[in-house]
Amino acid sequence: MEDLGIPALDGTPVETDHRRIWQRFAERFDLFRGTPTGLWLADELINVFGVSEKLNGGSAMAIYEHVEAQLKKPEFSPRALFGRFGIHTLCTTDPAGSDLRHHAALREAGWGDRVRPTFRPDAVVNLRTAGWHTHLRALGAVAGIAIEDYASFIRALEQRRAVFKSMGATATDHAAETAFTERLSAAECEATFARALRGDADADDAARFTGHMLIEMARMSAEDGLVMQLHVGSLRNHNEAIFRRFGPDKGADIPLAGEFTRGLRPLLNAFGNDPRFSLILFTLDEAVYSRELAPLAGHYPAVKLGPPWWFHDSVNGMRRFLDLVTETAGLANLAGFNDDTRAFCSIPSRHDVWRRVSCDWLAGLALRGLIDVDDARAMAGDLASGLAERAYNLG
Amino acid sequence: MEDLGIPALDGTPVETDHRRIWQRFAERFDLFRGTPTGLWLADELINVFGVSEKLNGGSAMAIYEHVEAQLKKPEFSPRALFGRFGIHTLCTTDPAGSDLRHHAALREAGWGDRVRPTFRPDAVVNLRTAGWHTHLRALGAVAGIAIEDYASFIRALEQRRAVFKSMGATATDHAAETAFTERLSAAECEATFARALRGDADADDAARFTGHMLIEMARMSAEDGLVMQLHVGSLRNHNEAIFRRFGPDKGADIPLAGEFTRGLRPLLNAFGNDPRFSLILFTLDEAVYSRELAPLAGHYPAVKLGPPWWFHDSVNGMRRFLDLVTETAGLANLAGFNDDTRAFCSIPSRHDVWRRVSCDWLAGLALRGLIDVDDARAMAGDLASGLAERAYNLG
Amino acid sequence: MEDLGIPALDGTPVETDHRRIWQRFAERFDLFRGTPTGLWLADELINVFGVSEKLNGGSAMAIYEHVEAQLKKPEFSPRALFGRFGIHTLCTTDPAGSDLRHHAALREAGWGDRVRPTFRPDAVVNLRTAGWHTHLRALGAVAGIAIEDYASFIRALEQRRAVFKSMGATATDHAAETAFTERLSAAECEATFARALRGDADADDAARFTGHMLIEMARMSAEDGLVMQLHVGSLRNHNEAIFRRFGPDKGADIPLAGEFTRGLRPLLNAFGNDPRFSLILFTLDEAVYSRELAPLAGHYPAVKLGPPWWFHDSVNGMRRFLDLVTETAGLANLAGFNDDTRAFCSIPSRHDVWRRVSCDWLAGLALRGLIDVDDARAMAGDLASGLAERAYNLG
């Protein structure tokens, strides 16, 4: 990004004064014109915080003070905003080794199922995760299972899924660089896992084991009813300088070309027709929307399509998604909209963008006579909430 | 597809009562909102059968009775509808081993060239087709040629093409998983074909032989003038459970990423500049429209682009196609529109969708001053029928 | 292209009578309806040459005479048109071995920096260029360096870059079939270059050497400040008959699928965060716009995106580009518009198309409330000229 740069790669200290960061950001807020980030933030300032000026260098500090004052009020506490935002359900993603203590606390505080965990075992499934042995020990410890081989690894995962489910989870989440799946033999599983335990697993081991574990996770989902989400196609930590200075997952992820047709075939042939199984697919490669994802969702009873993800969670991205998948997949095979924001106050904006784009899209269909107004009304309700509630069993 | 499911994969009998199937379908006709299937069917009921109610669970049986009554009238016989629909030419696709007896009967009945066969040799060209030897025997029998080697195989194909042509055929049709083409040496052809006859051809043999035969088919087209159609990119029988229970080609086909630039180069270097040759390309990967197909059609005299195929035979699919290919390929290098429906009564709807979408697209060009109204009028006629008539030599 | 054909592949002489060529072209000018070529030419005739009739077979000769008469007037000399067209800067691309004598002449004639050279070393960087040794000798001769090994090759390139810069160059230009980059060891560089000098470099040598040299060019750009342009994805000389009869680069180039995420990673990890370095990327594969290019430009400080290139330098191509990249990359990471025409008189039309498309796009954003009118006005100025001036340091 021009001008904002990447901070402090030259070794100078990262700026930590919030006021100075905000001032500098506001001065170049023009860089975000026409971007979803710019849209969300502008909308949040107006509709969450009641700001009436446009953000720029001149208004930056007044807005900062105003927002700071608002945030001190009890009606701006996270729990108050949760209610004001009308959030139906908020799902966190939690590693397989999590003890879910915060979820337990929320349940004790009477929050019921409004905040739910999501089982995300990537760190132990991917044999090449940095700190894999540590993640594995955490999983074994919390499960009370000594993970000494593939069989005990599977038992520990099954145990945690049961616990997650008892704490309200209705879904799991899995990230993979590709959609490659392949069933390994029992002997291969044990041998590969043993190599990983010894620290000897190579890239090929890791890729094949991930491909096997995706099928294994589908098997568990068919058995325990947790909806399986699969996010495919991000090359993580693309910028090595960022990785070295700040560690993993700092935003330096760049998408890869996607391939689901051959990749998912083993998984879908095992569980794609299983009425107990539900698989929600997400991609960063829009070329697969109409080519692969929509036909797969239109064909396999188990497959649904997640909303446009990450870079494509935007006005144009949503429009393209709806235009590209719905004719083939059918609206009922979409999982509606969920945001994956880390910015709590952006939640209303993000859902508002989706509702506006999808209603604009429906209006276009109705105007051209492709659907009638009764259809449009029903579809609007489904897009706004019905599809997501059904896809994630949140009825 | 949610709710309609895939019937009877658990071994229960497939529903065969047409009324019950129709009732169940109508109850969930909402699943087809915004899809081409929904659009065609709604339009057929109104414009072919004179239905005035919207299809749903409540109206299902009344509509069923109404349509059944209509179908008993002589003016709803297939031949009567053929006239009412204003069908210029209907082309069937027929295996290389077909004796074309039904075409002969139609010609005797005075139908002339209104129904034409199309030469589709996939079953014998693809060495790994289930029942390849049976298909080959049928070809040999109908051609009166003992197919004992590659040379006699080629002679039999040439003989059948001549017969197809004499029965009105103006085109051939070829499906391939990829657009890979490669000229094999005479010795390789004979050796590969001999392995296939012995049942020893492997996947690599089959892929290379198909790639060779596409060039051979181009050679025959240059010689006999049959227009060559090539449909690329479907992974057939993706769902093994469907395949095991119902056999091949039951709709469980999922597209693959396409590559034409390198793949077709050997074929195009052999015949792409040949004024006697015409090749019409179809893809299921919209990413290749602007990247590969439009530049190839714009460059090679022999190449034309077929209309959006299969999943993309839809309102949005057509719009994308026109927007993505015409600027580079030029309208004159499109083959216009042909539907590939199996549902006879959907023919008017499908062509009506194309005409409406293409006229809407032209109106947009004219409104923006990119063409004038005289241009638009000429282009509308070409899109509606002129391009297809010229591309398929149906003048 | 139907009817216009590819001239004289059968060995007949190429038509050389300009009047007959023009008459034939005008008779089939309908073939260019809805294409950028048609649009540019129609616009040039009206707005550059003052033609008032539509071009067709009937008007062809009158228009020819009119244009010919105009071209004889002093106000239609290239230098007069340069002024009338309001051209800010015209950059040529020149081989590494060029002595830039015409640029020197223009500078002596007082043209200053209005015409600048661009350093394009493809012919010597690609070890398999036809006539590589000749190009290399020309480079050595003009640089006054005996190129006997990799080290002297690098010195000669550095010397020429310095001369180009002294003659006004602000950029370099590089074409590659793929975006593959890889740092070779010093020993590999020397060994590969030695093989090339002996005429022994194979395709793999050439691909790896090109991948290495792109990083080396990035290194030089970081050091000397020349902006690096990279055009990726054209398979040159696809049509062998054209190549044999007319030689290389006669328009028979067909795009390939693109991959930048893995390919550019070594280059970007070396220089992508370097504040001295600027890399402008061009693609012929629109599938990478939103998948790879926009995320790369949004992330790496050094990366900007060039305008839609070649086949995509069109009304729809520009619209797709703006819709697909801006939300993720941000407008400030675009390089604005530059045409790469060989047709001098098409320059105003090409820029006019860009300005109209980008203003129409901005109007749509403003109308939907995604930006306000102040934003739109600033963005319009940037798209029209500001971005290009800043990207190429032409301020």
Task: State the Cα–Cα distance between residues B230 and B277, nearest whole angstrom.
Answer: 13
pLDDT value at position A122?
A: 97
Nearest to B286 among A290, A299, A304 (CB): A290
Q: Identify all chain B residues contacting C36, using CB atoms and an 8 Å cutoff.
A: 327
Q: Identify all chain B residues contacting A262, using CB atoms and an 8 Å cutoff.
A: 235, 256
**pLDDT digits 0-9 by tens, A63-114:** 999 999 999 999 999 999 999 999 999 999 999 999 999 999 999 999 989 9
Task: State the Cα–Cα distance between residues B331 and B323, nearest whole angstrom.
Answer: 11
**pLDDT digits 0-9 by tens, C242-262:** 999 988 888 889 999 999 999
pLDDT value at position C395?
A: 75
Asked whether the predicted pLDDT for residue C293 surpasses 70, the reply is yes
Instruction: Look up the ipTM and state it.
Output: 0.96
Of all residues in chain B, the percent with pLDDT exceeding 90 is: 93
Question: Could you tell me if C378 lies within 8 Å of chain B, comparing CB atoms?
Answer: no
Residues in chain A, pLDDT under 50: 1-3
Cross-chain residue pair B3–A275, CB shorter than 8 Å: no
What number is the average pLDDT over the span C117-133? 96
Residues A84 and A191: beta-carbon distance below 8 Å: no
**pLDDT digits 0-9 by tens, C305-333:** 999 999 999 999 999 999 999 999 999 99
Question: Could you tell me if A375 lies within 8 Å of chain B, comparing CB atoms?
Answer: yes
Question: Could you tell me if A292 lies within 8 Å of chain B, comparing CB atoms?
Answer: yes
CB pairs under 8 A between B and C: 103
Neighbouring chains of B at 3+ CB pairs under 8 Å are A, C
Nearest to C255 among B261, B275, B370 (CB): B261
Asked whether the predicted pLDDT for residue B8 surpasses 70, the reply is no
Fold entry, domain B1-76:
uronate isomerase, domain 2, chain A (1.10.2020)
What number is the average pLDDT over the span B34-46? 97
Cross-chain residue pair C254–B261, CB shorter than 8 Å: yes
Fill in the DSSP letter of residue A171. E
**pLDDT digits 0-9 by tens, A143-199:** 999 999 999 999 999 999 999 999 999 999 999 999 999 999 999 999 999 999 999
Of all residues in chain C, the percent with pLDDT exceeding 70 is: 97
Residues A150 and A190: beta-carbon distance below 8 Å: yes
Rg (CA), chain A: 22
Give the chain B residue whose CA is nearest to the CA of C37: B327
Mutate to test the interface with C, among A238, A256, A310 (most CBs of C within 10 A): A238
Question: Could you tell me if A198 lies within 8 Å of chain C, comparing CB atoms?
Answer: no
Shortest CA gap C232–chain A (Å):
16
**pLDDT digits 0-9 by tens, B144-163:** 999 999 999 999 999 999 99
Q: Identify all chain A residues contacting B235, using CB atoms and an 8 Å cutoff.
A: 261-262, 265
Shortest CA gap B309–chain A (Å):
12
Cross-chain residue pair B291–C314, CB shorter than 8 Å: no
Q: What is the largest distance, in Å, between two alpha-carbon atoms of chain A?
A: 66
Query: What residue ranges in chain A does DSSP mark as E strands?
Result: 90-91, 94-95, 115-116, 119-120, 171-176, 227-232, 234-235, 254-255, 279-283, 303-305
The token pair that represents B16 in the structure block: 């065969």
Torsion of CA A382, A386, A388, A394, to 10 degrees: 180
Fill in the DSSP letter of residue C215. H
Give the chain B residue whose CA is nearest to the CA of A299: B1
The token pair that represents B323 in the structure block: 């927007």
> Same CATH fold, C97-285 and C1-86?
no
pLDDT value at position C267?
A: 98
Residue with tokens 């100078």: A12
Nearest to C238 among B265, B332, B375 (CB): B265
The vertex-C342 CA angle with C337 and C343, nearest 5°, equals 95
Cross-chain residue pair B291–C257, CB shorter than 8 Å: yes
Neighbouring chains of C at 3+ CB pairs under 8 Å are A, B
Cross-chain residue pair C287–A286, CB shorter than 8 Å: yes
Residues C339 and C313: beta-carbon distance below 8 Å: yes
Number of H helices, E strands in chain A: 18, 10
What number is the average pLDDT over the span B350-367? 98
Cross-chain residue pair A255–C375, CB shorter than 8 Å: no
Asked whether the predicted pLDDT for residue C7 surpasses 70, the reply is no
What number is the average pLDDT over the span B10-36? 92
Q: Where are the domains of chain C?
A: 1-86, 97-285, 309-395
Least Cα distance to A374 among A385, A366, A382 occurs for A366
pLDDT value at position B9?
A: 72
Asked whether the predicted pLDDT for residue B3 surpasses 50, the reply is no
Cross-chain residue pair A272–B5, CB shorter than 8 Å: no
Cross-chain residue pair A238–C265, CB shorter than 8 Å: yes
pLDDT value at position A250?
A: 86
Residue B391, Ramachandran bin (φ over 0: left; ψ between -120 and 50: alpha; else beta): alpha
**pLDDT digits 0-9 by tens, C326-354:** 999 999 999 999 999 989 999 999 999 99
Question: Could you tell me if A377 lies within 8 Å of chain C, comparing CB atoms?
Answer: no
Which numeric CATH code is attached to C1-86? 1.10.2020.10
B301 to A129, B287, B306, C4, C300: CA distances (angstroms): 53, 22, 15, 9, 43
Residues B130 and B115: beta-carbon distance below 8 Å: no
Cross-chain residue pair C330–A287, CB shorter than 8 Å: no
Question: Could you tell me if B285 lies within 8 Å of chain A, comparing CB atoms?
Answer: yes
Q: What is the separation of C-alpha B338 from the centre of its chain, rounded to a whole number of angstroms?
A: 8
Q: Identify all chain C residues contacting B379, using CB atoms and an 8 Å cutoff.
A: 33-34
pLDDT value at position C12?
A: 74
Q: Identify all chain C residues contacting A314, using CB atoms and an 8 Å cutoff.
A: 327-328
pLDDT value at position B1?
A: 41
Q: Identify all chain A residues contacting B39, using CB atoms and an 8 Å cutoff.
A: 370
Fold entry, domain C97-285:
TIM Barrel (3.20.20)
- Which of residues 241 through 260 in chain C touch B, CB cutoff 8 A? 241, 251-257
Count, residues in chain B: 395
DSSP helix/strand/coil, B115: strand
pLDDT value at position B7?
A: 54
Task: State the Cα–Cα distance between residues B139 and B116, nearest whole angstrom.
Answer: 19
- Which of residues 118 through 147 in chain C touch B, CB cutoff 8 A? none
Asked whether the predicted pLDDT for residue B80 surpasses 90, the reply is yes
pLDDT value at position C4?
A: 53
Rg (CA), chain C: 22
What number is the average pLDDT over the span C219-225? 98
Shortest CA gap B99–chain A (Å):
35
Determine how β-strand C171-176 pairs with β-strand C234-235. Answer: unpaired
Mutate to test the interface with C, among B183, B269, B281, B291 (most CBs of C within 10 A): B291
Q: Identify all chain A residues contacting C378, using CB atoms and an 8 Å cutoff.
A: 30, 33
Nearest to C290 among A32, A34, A311 (CB): A311
Shortest CA gap B394–chain C (Å):
17
Cross-chain residue pair B31–A265, CB shorter than 8 Å: no
- Which of residues 324 through 343 in chain A touch B, CB cutoff 8 A? 324, 326-328, 330-333
What number is the average pLDDT over the span B299-315? 97
pLDDT value at position B299?
A: 97
**pLDDT digits 0-9 by tens, C145-192:** 999 999 999 999 999 999 999 999 999 999 999 999 999 999 999 999
Average pLDDT value over all residues in chain B:
95
Shortest CA gap C104–chain B (Å):
38
Cross-chain residue pair B299–C238, CB shorter than 8 Å: yes
For the residues of A36-76, what is the DSSP string, one character each? HHHHHHHHHHHHTT---SPPSTTTHHHHHHHHHHHHHSGGG
Task: State the Cα–Cα distance between residues C134 and C139, nearest whole angstrom.
Answer: 9
Residues B33 and B42: beta-carbon distance below 8 Å: no
Q: Identify all chain A residues contacting B178, using CB atoms and an 8 Å cutoff.
A: none
Shortest CA gap C300–chain A (Å):
7
Asked whether the predicted pLDDT for residue C17 surpasses 50, the reply is yes
